[in-house]
Structures are given as C-alpha cells and as structure tokens.
Amino acid sequence: MEIFEGPAIVFSPERHCLGIRTITPFRGMFAVRDMLMDELYTWLGDRDIDFGHTFFRLHVIDMAGSMDVEVGVVTEKPFEGDTRVRAGVLPAGKYASLTYANHGRRANRTLVEWVRSNNLTFDSREETAGDYFACRYEAYLTDPRSERMKTRWRIELSIRLADEASPDPPGRP
C-alpha cells in the first residue's frame, strides 16, 4: 500500500451525485461494483451528463452477510434520476480521510486504527443488517475507464465523523 495523503480530518461540503444502490454479499462485491460502474457510465453517456469522480459508497457493512453499497458519480448540480439511477448527496461534514493506492483492506484498517487512536468517533450505528455509516466511501481519483489496473488507482477513502470530532487531532502519523 502506498499512502499519498493522510490520515487526516478534512471538511467536505455537500456534493450532488447520481448512483446505483444494491445489496450484495461481501464475497464478489467488487465484481458487482465493476458491473454497476459500467452500467452507470452507459446511463450517463446516453444522457450526456458530465460528472466528477466515481465513488463506491458503503451504506451498511456486514462482512459475514450482505453489504448495502452504491456506485455513484459526483455531479456539479442536481440531476433527476430514474428507478435505477437515483439522485442523492454525499453529506457535508468532517471526514477521516486517507488517499492511497493498492491494498484497500490495509488502507481501511490504517484509517480505522488512526481514528480509534485519536479518540474520534465515526458517524455510524449498529443495525440488525450490519454497521450503518452516515457516509463511508472510496472516491476513485484515477478514472477507472482510463486505468483498468485497480492496483494503480489513486483512491480517497473517507468516513464521516460524528459531530464532536475535533478539527486537529493529536498523534497524526
């Protein structure tokens, strides 16, 4: 794993997006992500909609069961979706963030451990379906359409923090 930035606390404004949300088992989840990306890019192209970064959002995580995930893109303004592609927002707030390439599990573990070691709290809660996150996503800073080797993608991993998160945590690695 190569870390380019962070871990750090960053503030993100609300961002409009369009995405496809689905439930899938953890095993095989990334193959589902790739299929949804292709479907979303086709949908956007058919409507000539410009967009920014592609993201993979994890709404509910249950690694032993089902994952509630969304593949989306950030847009400059709100657009109307349909029954498959839905309009939404990535909410404003303070996020624990880390930009990396390769080894997503290690990156997630690094960020989670950093948050815990700095006594910060994620904006999340346990539900019967798994761990619900107000906003947890990977933004693909490398365009997946131009670089097919996922190990070369630059990825911003961000998880929204609870409101009490301080802007300058101690012990930054």
In the chain, the domains with their CATH numbers are 2-160 (3.20.80.10)
Alpha carbon 53 to its chain's center: 11
169 — pLDDT class (breaks 50, 70, 90): very low
- Around 47, how many Cα atoms within 13 Å sit in the side-chain half-sphere? 14
What type of residue is 160?
R
Radius of gyration of the chain (CA): 16
What value does the mean pLDDT of the chain take? Answer: 92
91 — pLDDT class (breaks 50, 70, 90): very high
pLDDT of residue 164: 64
Average pLDDT of the residues in 48-61: 96
How deeply is 72 buried, as exposed, middle or buried, from its count of CB atoms within 10 A (0-12, 13-18, 19+)?
buried
Alpha carbon 171 to its chain's center: 25
- Enter the pTM of the model: 0.90
Average pLDDT of the residues in 98-104: 95
pLDDT of residue 148: 87
